[in-house]
Amino acid sequence: MVARANFTTSRNNEDNYGHGTHVAGIVAATDSNGMGVGGVCPGCTILAGKILSDTGMRSSSGLANGINWAVQNGAQVINMSLIVGASITLETAVNNAWNAGVVLVAAAGNGNSTTMMYPGAYPNVIAVGATDNNDKKASFSTYGTWVDVAAPGVSVYSTFPNHRFVLAREYNRSQGYDIGSGTSMSSPIVAAVAALAWSANPGASNWTVREKVEASTNPIEGVGTFWTHGRVNADLAVHW
């Protein structure tokens, strides 16, 4: 983790909720150390922008500020494992990030409906639905042709804070490592696949990386109805 910033009303940028640590571990937890879990892109570095407060509250303005901060600090891929209200400020931040050459990825939501959720529904964001361990749509996953790709999102094992946090109390999660479910877990898998693909082809543009991530998916059940493309495949995304 190379930088942290707090875009909430919480008094510091520590993760006292637990969600951000779980998401970050899915992306970049260290592998080959005999501890816990390895992330999808363990060589990636993390810019940790705190958008969820200590109680899980969030805002579109806070997310917009986080996007702007990430771009200013050199982010190449921005993962957004949250849902907020649509706003002109947020859409402008998304579009500015895309125009600056960034790939943006977001959770589609956990409402088991076709309702478009933001920021995932913005055209310049890869919206991600969730699959289960049978490669089927997760029961909770928001879906529809506005959702771009799918990735595993049920009982995903990853990092949690090594101190007391809200999700431990609300969902009986353990400190250190435990499972989590949601499109919030699917989104960082896709973001990490984009990072892997870009690392393998450093001269590529964000448009090309997005195209390759989407074109290299596996055609699982639901293509064309639950999501436009299929379930992401890191190996195929890298070898292009």
Using a pLDDT cut of 90, give the percent of the chain over it: 98
Cα torsion through 73, 76, 82, 88, rounded to 10: 70
For residues 202 and 204, give the distance between their C-alpha atoms in angstroms, rounded to a whole number. Answer: 6
Both structure tokens of 206: 């964000």
Question: For the chain, which domains are there?
Answer: 3-238 (3.40.50.200)
In terms of C-beta density within 10 A (0-12 exposed, 13-18 middle, 19 or more buried), how is residue 32 classed? exposed
pTM (whole model) above 0.95: yes
pLDDT at 50 over 80: yes
DSSP-derived secondary structure letter, 9: S
Q: What pLDDT shows up at residue 154?
A: 98
Q: Is the pLDDT of residue 116 over 90?
A: yes
- Per-residue pLDDT at 217 exceeds 80: yes
pLDDT bracket for residue 240 (50, 70, 90): confident
pLDDT tens profile 157-180: 999 999 999 999 999 999 999 999
pLDDT of residue 215: 97
Q: What integer is the mean pLDDT of 14-35?
A: 96
